[in-house]
Structure 1
Amino acid sequence: MNNNEHGIGSKISRRNFLGASSKAAVAVTIGMTIPFSIGEKEAAAAKFPSYPFTLGVASGDPLPESVVLWTRLAPDPLAADGLGGMTEEEVIVKWEVAVDEQFKTIVKRGHEVATPDYAYSIHAEVYGLEPGKEYYYRFKSGNDFSPVGKTKTAPAYGSQLDQLNFAFASCQNVPAGYYTAYDHMVKEDLDLVIFLGDYIYENGGQGTIGRGHVPAKEIFTLEDYRVRYGQYKSDPSLQAAHAVFPWIVTLDDHELENNFGGDATNYPNKYASKEEFLARREAAFQAYYEHMPLRRSALPSGIDMQVYRRFNFGNLAEFNVLDTRQYRTNTTSDRLDPNKTMMGEVQESWLYDGLSRSNAHWNILAQQVLMAQRDTKLGEGYEFATDNWNGYVANRDRLFNCITENDLNNVVVITGDSHRNWVNDLKEDFFNLDSRTLATEFVGTSISSGGDGKDMDQAGIDIMSENPHVKWMNNQRGYVRCQLTPEQLRADFMVVPHVTMPGAPISNRASFIVENGKPGAVRI
């Protein structure tokens, strides 16, 4: 299959998307086509004080015959009660899926009921679509149309796939900078985007560029988390990237709290009780679900939300999307404790079983925090961070044993969190450079977190000199663009020179290739 067949990213430009955000532009663009399945009189009952689709549209979790369509009704997304300016108890929201941008050939339609229980968000799981096909979609409520979005289903299970194009990103702190990288990402020829966490930040930071957090404080309640998502999802660059590609998302720590892991035992001095922390966790998880294009299987149950899951793209790639936050044991205990886990026993078993059964050309682990060893030499000893896999050595060893025991020579790890670009060899023994390389880790920098950054800093120089398995590093902002074929994976590290001012150009700072069957990246 040629990925250029459907012209991914070629029809909806950011300018067209932003223009469609007004009711007049939408009416001109898509018009009144085939009648909806629900009568217009019933739909017109919903009346809004202003345009309700201010947060745009999104799609996600692509399967061969299905995709999730997302939107949220929010005439006033920063309303303090977290309900986005909505006053109705229940509102009907219709959706349509078509093969053309003008909606002349509609293939699926339906409706959902938006309620205050989930902040008037919609998660429409559309089934009966064709594998590997591009579709357009839109929503309607009352007399208002949403912007038009574009999505794509995954190829049929086991089908021969010649190429897959995707990008991965993470860490988009609003006060720290503009989302300029997304302005460039929307022009890419991509099949999907993978977001690896820190979609929002929970602190009250205001920054220096006029993009301060709302509310201007650290958030703890469901209402405040909803307002914060309303602020982030109001960003036009982020909306544009959601509108042109399906996204696969997972969370990291800032969707709840910096460096959180497991339960409140990690924070004995911050909360009056464990229950106080868990109440915050429940609120944060619900708000996350409400604002992401996730399936109902991810609907939180109290403090629990399952976001680890698996996606297949023909016979080419199997993506294991991990959750290294919710189930981890205490970060402050001994990093060499054999009982420590980043993923929890159930998720570990799920992952190892999936890897052992995989027949894909590539096995890709999409996860949050640095997996490669990073040490800082202090005299004759070493100091290790404990918030990433270096604090959970036994769990990393179990994963590496799974790779070795199943003769997997096609594993690539994609990682976020660190606000830097890294290329790492994952070694059988990190203290022995001559030991076998088991897999490759590509770590992507942030969209905006950390501010402008620079190509290289002293910290990066020190890290590379002390860790020879780190093959390259960069401290600018951007995303990683990947092209996958049966023979190789190519990763392009796309960076912008600044984010504290809008309008930065983008460039490919470095490119690396991993050949199938030969773990370890080679710069080209």
Structure 2
Amino acid sequence: MTITAFQSYRVPSYGVSSRHTPELRAAARHIGRRRFLGVTGAALALAFAVDLPRPGVAAAAELDAARIATDPFTLGVASGDPLPGSVLLWTRLAPAPYQPDGGLPAERFDVDWEVARDEAFATVVRRGTATAHPEFQHTVHVEADGLEPGSVYYYRFRAGAWLSETGRTRTAPAATGSVSSLTFAAVACQAYQDGYFTAHRHLAEDDVDLVFHLGDYLYEYAVDAAGGARAYTDRRLPALFNHETVSLEDYRLRYALYKTDPDLRAAHAAHPFVVTWDDHETENNYAGAVPENAVPPEEFLLRRAAAYRAYWENQPLRPPQLPTGPDMRLYRRLQWGPLAQFDVLDTRQYRSDQAYGDAPHVPGPESEDPARTMTGAAQERWLLEGWRDSTALWNVVPQQVCFSRRRMDLDPVAKVSMDAWDGYPASRRRILDGAKAAGVENLMVLTGDVHVGYAFDIKDDFDDPASRTLGTEIVATSIASGKDGSQRPGNWATFMTANPHLKFYDGRRGYARVELGQELARADFRALPYVTTPGAPVTTAGSFVTEVGEPGLKPA
């Protein structure tokens, strides 16, 4: 079965939540890779796993890039996952990005790339040629190595007569080098149909070393011809975006829509990104092999395979992250010299199904089952072992959903989210105990998902405000999801009262900016007054510091 055949395959949507069908939940929990590969339609899934060229390996016939008649670099450039001696460079050839084939035939094209120390490319330090394979939708992933640690570089691509825009990136410092500080941004949740990506434009102009994207890079929901809340009057989007993404073709086209946004392109060109997904890159609130709706698990895993493949193709990710079928190793570890260790988590692919039908609920036997996991056993073990071996001053965990307790009402036993770590308290307990056992003193968790900005003290016992503070959690609000938002949402007073460890809450769009230093870390919450019209200014809604060796947030 060819990939083209899979592109035309569409998963049915029955509209009934599988969280209310125990048989489907059980089937999804127990479906193994052997059964998955044996079900009807397995050949479609195998199309993602075998007989595909790795980057640089010959496949289909090659065409001269000089035959590309219009600009193929419509989706910009990006870089990511910086190491001391290398960085990953990304682009995609797509002269017609809103067409399923991107406006190119199913042939290979050579793409030249170069890295320089200056924006004028007077001092080129690395160059080479990569192959844009049709099997990877003519995306290009280049591991540019042989670079100096802790250095800024400029990069660009060339295909025939066409030259891409110039990107700016940097390498990580040497493991044993001297690093006084690091400034990074945390972003999340950019529903195209909810508004403009103005926050990315401000981020592109901000002086940060690195950007962490914490998930919901795109949304699977339909986008109408007017672009939803963007309410375009000077352009119309094709009808092919006006349905939910389920096939490989759907997900690829949705990335094309997002990456044609000029503000997102500007942010990618300005800074290296470290990305991880949440749910909407595949489907809302899925859990492992359990879909949101009553779709047979085998069919959902086919959809997950399509979503994961399109994610890798369209992000600045290295070859170890290349998925196989419905599986993708996204959790990984990055270092910033001796200053910081970043343990990037995946809290979607391996988690237990949400308890109590995935609705807000008081803690109970179902959610408190000690066997429940947010990360899966292998990832949990990897995280705790990494902390035991860490010599970094700051241990930072970029991940997806609220880690700290978030009581939603003022009842003696309050409801909490079953989709966040509150729905997996035993899993959170193991993580916190592991941090204590490893002697992690300066723990910072980065979170997205909830479309608001929060600042939490991470308590050893969230039921006891006087218990030891083990770290801090910085929750980045959304880029666009939730539309304009408000400074103080309707539940602001309730949340601030019910959660004494919650130090800040703002409901506007924007991003979080964090500076790690030798003595303290500072977090600035950057906020926009609106996103449903373009051009909003940005202000700092709140600033906090946490000191080395004394976890806990204080106003800056």
Pairwise same-fold verdict (TM > 0.5): yes
Q: Cα offset for 1:209?
A: 2.5
Q: Cα offset for 1:379?
A: 4.6
- 8 Å contact kept, 2:64–2:109: no
Q: Cα offset for 1:460?
A: 2.1
Q: Cα offset for 1:210?
A: 2.4
Identity of aligned residues (%): 47
Matching residue of 2:363: none
Which residue type is aligned with residue 320 of structure 1? D
1:106-134 CA deviation, whole Å, 9 max, x = no partner? 11111111111110000000111000111
Call closer, same or farther: CA 1:205–1:231 in 2, change over 3 Å. Answer: closer
Matching residue of 2:42: none
SS of alignment partner, residue 312 of structure 1: strand
- 8 Å contact kept, 1:204–1:214: no
- 8 Å contact kept, 1:43–1:142: no
SS of alignment partner, residue 475 of structure 1: strand
Partner Cα separation in structure 2 for residue 255 and residue 310 of structure 1: 21
1:171-186 map, 5 Å: 171-186=189-204
1:8-60 CA deviation, whole Å, 9 max, x = no partner? xxxxxxxxxxxxxxxxxxxxxxxxxxxxxxxxxx9955422421000000000
1:380-420 CA deviation, whole Å, 9 max, x = no partner? 43222110101111110001101222222200111111000
1:440-488 CA deviation, whole Å, 9 max, x = no partner? 1010100010011111022122111111111110000101111111111
Partner Cα separation in structure 2 for residue 84 and residue 337 of structure 1: 48
The one of 230, 246, 249 equivalent to 1:220 is 246
1:443-458 map, 5 Å: 443-458=475-490
Matching residue of 2:455: 423
1:481-507 CA deviation, whole Å, 9 max, x = no partner? 111111111000011111011111111
Segments of structure 2 that go 5 or more residues without pairing to the other structure are 1-61, 357-365
Does the alignment pair 1:386 with 2:418?
yes
Matching residue of 2:256: 230
Q: Cα offset for 1:67?
A: 0.3
Partner Cα separation in structure 2 for residue 43 and residue 94 of structure 1: 14
Q: Which moves more between the two structures, 42-51 or 357-366?
A: 42-51
SS of alignment partner, residue 224 of structure 1: helix
Matching residue of 2:342: 319
Q: Cα offset for 1:369?
A: 0.3
Partner Cα separation in structure 1 for residue 106 and residue 349 of structure 2: 34
Which residue type is aligned with residue 477 of structure 1? R
Matching residue of 2:428: 396
The one of 159, 184, 192 equivalent to 1:141 is 159
Which residue type is aligned with residue 230 of structure 2? I
1:53-452 map, 5 Å: 53-79=73-99, 81=100, 83-206=101-224, 207-210=228-231, 215-264=241-290, 266-267=291-292, 269-271=293-295, 273-332=296-355, 334-377=366-409, 379-452=411-484
Partner Cα separation in structure 2 for residue 277 and residue 461 of structure 1: 40
Q: Which moves more between the two structures, 383-392 or 199-208?
A: 199-208
Q: Cα offset for 1:378?
A: 6.8
Partner Cα separation in structure 2 for residue 360 and residue 438 of structure 1: 16
Q: Which moves more between the two structures, 211-220 or 494-503?
A: 211-220
Partner Cα separation in structure 2 for residue 389 and residue 496 of structure 1: 28
1:256-275 CA deviation, whole Å, 9 max, x = no partner? 001111003x54x521x211
SS of alignment partner, residue 119 of structure 2: coil
Which residue type is aligned with residue 241 of structure 2? P
Q: Cα offset for 1:102?
A: 1.3
Q: Cα offset for 1:186?
A: 1.5
Partner Cα separation in structure 1 for residue 195 and residue 324 of structure 2: 34
SS of alignment partner, residue 500 of structure 2: coil
Partner Cα separation in structure 1 for residue 175 and residue 335 of structure 2: 7
1:296-353 CA deviation, whole Å, 9 max, x = no partner? 0100000111111111111111111100000111112611010111111111011000
Partner Cα separation in structure 2 for residue 490 and residue 214 of structure 1: 44
Partner Cα separation in structure 1 for residue 76 and residue 554 of structure 2: 39
- 8 Å contact kept, 1:44–1:143: no
Task: Name the count of aligned residue pairs.
Answer: 478
Does the alignment pair 1:478 with 2:501?
no
Question: What TM-score, normalized to structure 1?
Answer: 0.89
- 8 Å contact kept, 2:203–2:267: yes
Partner Cα separation in structure 2 for residue 521 and residue 368 of structure 1: 21
Partner Cα separation in structure 2 for residue 149 and residue 407 of structure 1: 39
- 8 Å contact kept, 1:352–1:402: yes
Q: Cα offset for 1:205?
A: 4.3
- 8 Å contact kept, 2:64–2:110: no
- 8 Å contact kept, 1:451–1:498: yes
Q: Which moves more between the two structures, 219-228 or 333-342?
A: 333-342
Which residue type is aligned with residue 554 of structure 2? V
Q: Which moves more between the two structures, 483-492 or 330-339?
A: 330-339
SS of alignment partner, residue 476 of structure 1: strand
Partner Cα separation in structure 1 for residue 65 and residue 478 of structure 2: 43
- 8 Å contact kept, 1:43–1:143: no
Segments of structure 1 that go 5 or more residues without pairing to the other structure are 1-41
Q: Once superposed, what is the RMSD of the aligned Cα atoms?
A: 1.5
Q: Which moves more between the two structures, 377-386 or 497-506?
A: 377-386
Q: Cα offset for 1:194?
A: 0.7
Which residue type is aligned with residue 208 of structure 2? L
Q: Cα offset for 1:100?
A: 1.3
SS of alignment partner, residue 178 of structure 1: coil
